[in-house]
Amino acid sequence: MTTSEFATEAYLRWGETESYKESQRRLGSYSPQDIERAQTEMADATEQVKNAYESGLPPESEEAMAGAEAHRQSISRWWYECSYEMHQNLGDMYLADPRFSAQYEERAVGLTQYMRDAIWANAAK
């Protein structure tokens, strides 16, 4: 799927939501360097969760939940206000949508489920 196809799908699925409108407003003000920083921050948060996973820690561990919280805060900082409930929905989507799962599974087999579980544990905390 191309970037424009993803953009079209996102618009069709969420275009009328305030979160989508806010993300588009913010995106319009970002420089290429800002976008790179946002992507790096998200990758770093995911790496925190991956490190906890590879260390054999449960998703309810402080380390895994700290990575999940960094992930949620990155979304809020760069794209739209991401409540814990919204973050849980995203975690479920990562697991349900093979395109998202593939991104996590490339990093480590089983990471998608672990990420989802860490997100849910963090929200419950």
Domain total for the chain?
Answer: 1
Written as six digits, the tokens of 95 are 């697991």
Q: Is residue 51 in a domain?
A: yes
**φ and ψ at 60, to 5 degrees?**
-85, 0
- Model confidence, pTM: 0.87
Model confidence at 101, pLDDT cuts 50, 70, 90, reads very high
**φ and ψ at 6, to 5 degrees?**
-65, -45
Residue 67: how many other CB atoms lie within 10 Å = 26
Q: Is residue 70 in a domain?
A: yes
Give the relative orientation of helices 32-54 and 98-107 as an angle to the nearest 10 degrees.
70
Q: Is residue 54 in a domain?
A: yes
**CATH code (residue 62):** 1.10.490.50
Residue 70: how many other CB atoms lie within 10 Å = 18
2-40 pLDDT tens trace: 555 656 676 566 657 777 788 788 788 889 999 999 999
Q: Is residue 79 in a domain?
A: yes
Q: Which residue has the higher pLDDT, 18 or 81?
A: 81
Domain extent for 84: 32-124
> What pLDDT score does 25 carry?
87
Written as six digits, the tokens of 76 are 């809020």
Mean pLDDT over each residue of the chain, to the nearest integer: 90
Q: How confident is the model over 104-116, as a mean pLDDT? A: 97
Q: How confident is the model over 73-95, as a mean pLDDT? A: 94
Q: Is residue 2 in a domain?
A: no
> What pLDDT score does 27 carry?
80
Q: Is residue 57 in a domain?
A: yes
In contact, 47 and 66? CB cutoff 8 Å: no
**59: three-class secondary structure by DSSP:** coil
